Amino acid sequence: MTGFGLATTDEENVKFVVEIKSLNSKFLELNIKLPRAYSDKELLLRNTCSKEIERGKVNISINIERSGETQKGANINTALLTHYFQQLEALNASLGANATGLLQTALNFPEVITYAEEEAGEKEWEMLHETFNKALANFNRFRADEGMVLRQDLELRIQNILNFFAKVDEMAPLRVPQIKARLTQFLEEAVGQVNVDQNRFEQELIYYIDKLDITEEKTRLKSHCDYFLATLKDKDANGKKLGFISQEIGREINTMGAKANDAQIQQLVVGMKEELEKIKEQLLNVL
């Protein structure tokens, strides 16, 4: 499920910014980017995310922005830089080479430029941790809102399937007299009414109609749809369970279509399949 959460805290010339983004994934994949000074806190943050986020490809970015007074920059070892530069000048003069870029070359030598290590104070960590928790809460709120929209859409799709099902339920009983009339006409045209054994004809007709009976499929389809709606209302994460139920719904729809032997019912079955495909697409976003 996609999600987004952002939180910032400004305190004593320091600004903490935590941003959490997620994309769909079958499992929980965490990528945390945080300042080096707080690298020892990564395991703690990962454990918190594992409890609060069930799955998704989650990217967490933690930045600390300091004002000019507190910002720690790079230090240049002037003596060492001068030493390297003079050596390069002497070497360049003896070789008669181009003198362009000697300073840049000297700056790239080891230990000429050093960076001050940031120190992670306990007070700063508490503020950063609080900002992280706020971002995580915003992230979960975003996903909850998206989940509500998904739930409404899934309920609509299931209701559409049930509407198609109601029409099938009305039309299914009409098939028997139509099939009987069609077969009777065919036999009369083929062998004549006098030569038809009515008892045998009725036996074969019962056998044939039994093969086309969709009563069980209708019952199971209605049951699966009701179970799907009930599962949607559970507070637990049921994305996989809903996926299994949708497979069962698809199985009953396919069997109903194979047994229909009626053009209008087939059209209704196609409509149900279309709604089911939309359900399966949305279930990829459900936890």
- pLDDT confidence of residue 81: 82
3-state SS, residue 146: helix
**Based on the number of CB atoms within 10 Å of its own CB, is 95 exposed (0-12), middle (13-18) or buried (19 or more)?**
exposed
- pLDDT confidence of residue 17: 93
Please, what sign has the CA dihedral across residues 95, 99, 105, 111? positive
- pLDDT confidence of residue 125: 87
- pLDDT confidence of residue 86: 85
3-state SS, residue 75: strand
CATH number of 3-70+125-139: 3.30.230.70
- pLDDT confidence of residue 6: 94
What is the residue-level pLDDT of the chain in tens, covering all 287 positions? 688 999 999 877 788 999 999 988 778 899 999 888 888 889 999 999 998 888 889 999 999 887 754 455 567 888 888 888 888 888 888 887 776 777 888 888 887 776 555 556 788 888 999 999 999 999 999 988 888 898 999 999 999 999 999 998 888 777 767 676 666 666 666 666 556 566 766 666 666 666 677 888 889 999 999 999 999 888 776 788 899 999 999 999 999 888 877 788 889 999 999 999 999 988 877 76
pTM score > 0.85 for this model?
no
- pLDDT confidence of residue 234: 82
Q: How many helices (H) and strands (E) does the chain have?
A: 9, 6
